[in-house]
Each structure stands twice: as structure tokens, then as C-alpha cells.
Amino acid sequence: MSQRNLTRYARLSIAAALITMALKIVAWQITDSVGLLSDAAESLVNLAGAFMALAMLTIAARPADADHAYGHGKAEYFSSGLEGGLILIAAIGIGAAAIGRLLHPQPLEQVGIGLAVSAAASVVNLGAALVIHRAGKQQHSITLEANAQHLLTDVWTSIGVIVGVAAVALTGWNWLDPVVALVVAANIVYAGIKIVQRSVLGLMDASLSPEDQRAIQGILKRHTRERVEFHALRTRQSGARRFISVHVLVPGDWTVQQGHDLLEQIEDDLRAVVPNSTVFTHLESIDDPASWKDLELERDLEVKP
């Protein structure tokens, strides 16, 4: 699946957000529950995040050009970072509304109908989240993964709200409604922080996941033999694209063709175990002392007169 085709999942998220937001607003108006109001507010954030995801996936799908030789994949991190920020803003609003209702409890109305409408919205969210999450994992798209995580958080939020509102109806303890809303807000804060953290790591060119690193090391170990070694391994991720760079040390008396054949095989093997990757290899002589200056990744720069 091409990067461009990923935008259809963002459109699915927009449709799901519109449907669930409408249903949850109806549920809130029926019951006057601050918990259901908080749930509807999160759906509004879902909608904003979905539109941002669509915009950034469209940009990320653009091919590399003269000004962006490595492509536009990092645009995905802006989307996931904004979505994480929107989640945190929503949590603040939910918390403020819940505290106000906690200080001034009010009875709920027509709970049964309101909960049924809210449950229907949760089913829509769950279906969209599972489809988007699977696509995000398969295509290594942090935007889709963040969007799916947000939708799944919304599902769990809705379940918590439904349980809380039902408990209020059964016990008559009206203070339970705002307490549930506060718990929901805390859960949303946690999800938002995790999404923002991952976005920051991507923008800071953090290394690939431990699973990818182990796969890379396995390939390099397979090709390691007498007088063939590797060092200066670098990895990073840019949206759905992964980048791998490694120096390959071979005997100094090898021909250019021998070295080239080995690098081609290594690059093919790395791309096989780390999909969507661009691999850079640098051939060095194992007999040249200068080759070993790369052990710390950066050579010391000498200022020459």
C-alpha cells in the first residue's frame, strides 16, 4: 500500500468522529450528564485530530524533491504531536466541567436512552480504531497509530462513563458522575502524554525500535566473518520510512567489485527484515587505521592551517 492510500484511513477517522460526536451530544442532552459531556468533548478532539492527520498524511505522501531529499515523512510527527496536545487540552476542559458539577451535583435524566446512544457511538469508534490501528502497524505510520490510539482511548473513556452514569442511576449518588469524568480526564492525560512523547522522539531522530535493532544486528552478524566487520551503525525513523546507515570494513586488497557485491547483499537483506527502509552502506578498508576513527560515529575534526 502506498503512502498516498493511507489518507483513506484518515477519512474513515473523520467519518467516525462526526458520527460519534453527534451521538454523544444527543446522549448528553438527554441525560445532562457531565460524564457524557466529557465524552462528547473528546470526540470533538478526535475530529480535529483526524483532519490534521489527513493533512499531514497528504504531505507525507509527496515524493522527495530538491528541497526535501529524504522525503516529507516527518510531517506525520506534527500530526501526532498536535493530536496529543489536543487530547491534553480536552482533558483540562473535562476536568474543569467535572469539578464544577462535583461542587454542585445535579440529578440525571433518561439515563437508559442516553446510555444506549453512547454505547452505539462506542461501537462505531471501536470498529474504526481497529481498522486504523491495523493499517498503522502494517504501514509503520505513527499518524495512523496515534489516531487509532486516540480512538481506542475514547472507547475506554466511553465505557467508563457508561458504567459511572449507570452507577449514578442505580445508587442515586449524583457525585459519582463528575468523579467518573475526572477519572476519564486523567486517562486522557496519560494517553496524550504518550503520543506527544513519541512524536518528540521522532522529530529528534531517535533510533529504531529494539525489535528492528535486533533484526539489523542479526543480518550484520550473519555477514560477519574473518576480516569483515561492521561499525558506526545509525538508525532513525521519518514517519513510515526507516533509515539505516552502517560502515562495512573489508580487506584492503579486495577489488571494488568484491566490496560492491557484498554491500548489495547486505542492503538487500536489511531491507527484507526492516520494511520501508532506506539503507546506506560505507565501504572501508579494515587495514587502514583511519577506518577505526568511526567507532564513536563522529570523526574528530582537525583544524588545518
**Residue range 136-182, pLDDT digits in tens:** 888 777 778 877 877 887 787 777 777 777 877 788 787 777 787 78
Residues 42, 20: Cα–Cα separation, whole Å: 10
Residues 99, 90: Cα–Cα separation, whole Å: 14
Confidence of residue 26 (pLDDT cuts 50, 70, 90): confident
Strands 241-250 and 277-285: parallel
Q: Mean pLDDT for the chain?
A: 80
In this structure, how many other beta carbons lie within 10 angstroms of the beta carbon of residue 189? 17
Burial label, 129 (beta-carbon count in 10 A; 0-12, 13-18, 19+): buried
What is the reported pTM? 0.60
| Structural domains of the chain in order of their starting residue, each with its CATH number | 3-203 (1.20.1510.10), 210-294 (3.30.70.1350)
Confirm if 128 and 50 have CB atoms less than 8 A apart.
Answer: no
Query: How far does CA 103 lie from the centroid of its chain?
Result: 37
- Residue 279 belongs to what H/E stretch? strand 277-285
Smallest Cα–Cα separation from 95: which of 22, 169, 186?
A: 186
